[in-house]
Amino acid sequence: MTQYSQIKADPMAIARLLKDEHGNTPKGLPPVHKWNPEFCGDINMQIKANGQWLYMGTPIGRPALVKLFSSILRHDDDDCFYLITPVEKVRIVVDDAPFIATLVTKVLDEGVEFLRFTTLTEDVIVLDAEHPLWVNYDAPDGEPRPYIHVRDRLDALIHRNVFYQLVEWATVQEIDGKLFYAVQSAGQWFVIAPFESDV
């Protein structure tokens, strides 16, 4: 079981730190990659595999607060996840991917098809070379676990219903001399499963 050391700030304090002098939360994503505060310790916060955020074992019920925390999340080279402000860095527990993609839509732009994903925290990701999709078929429960890259070193698990939609859209394509079920976005093919799979 993870042990949590005491730190000075609680989640509400972190939220307050990100507000401007008028009490407004800034628009867009904070430049967490530029911030290098001292490590303050672990905080009893967890992102479960289903995308639910917990604080001290209790679900965080305010979507706006979860969205705010997700905007200051960073995955560092030590493979740990942190909430980062200009003056504090606290470590949290992430069971799988920190985001969950719960919606996918097709968008046609000048004859090119794009697949646009939306996460629980309202991140919007277009499937392309910089935001690829991949599927882990070696998960302990035997179920395929599809992911899409969101930003920096942060990924989203694709919800099962969304994955079924991708499977429905998939066609058989030859890639590197082998047949796969794949979906197209931004002019590229992304593998969903081997053609021999019964997915």
Per-residue pLDDT of the chain (199 residues; tens, 9 = 90+): 333 333 334 455 445 544 544 555 546 788 999 999 999 999 999 999 999 999 999 999 999 999 999 999 999 999 999 999 999 999 999 999 999 999 999 988 878 889 999 999 989 999 999 999 999 988 777 788 999 999 999 999 999 999 999 999 999 999 888 899 999 998 899 999 888 754 4
User: Would you say 37 and 86 are in contact if contact means Cβ atoms under 8 Å apart?
Assistant: yes
d(CA 59, CA 191): 35
The pLDDT, as a whole number, for residue 199 is 47
Point out the domain boundary residue: 51, 70, 94.
94
Q: How many domains does the chain have?
A: 2
Point out the domain boundary residue: 94, 129, 160.
94
Q: Can you read off the two tokens belonging to residue 79? A: 């493979």
The pLDDT, as a whole number, for residue 23 is 57
| Same domain for 159 and 114 | yes
| Same domain for 117 and 51 | no
The pLDDT, as a whole number, for residue 144 is 86
The pLDDT, as a whole number, for residue 26 is 46
Residue 123's CATH number: 2.30.270.10
pTM: 0.82
Dihedral angle over CA of 160, 153, 43, 157, nearest 10: 0
| Same domain for 189 and 116 | yes
User: Would you say 32 and 25 are in contact if contact means Cβ atoms under 8 Å apart?
Assistant: no
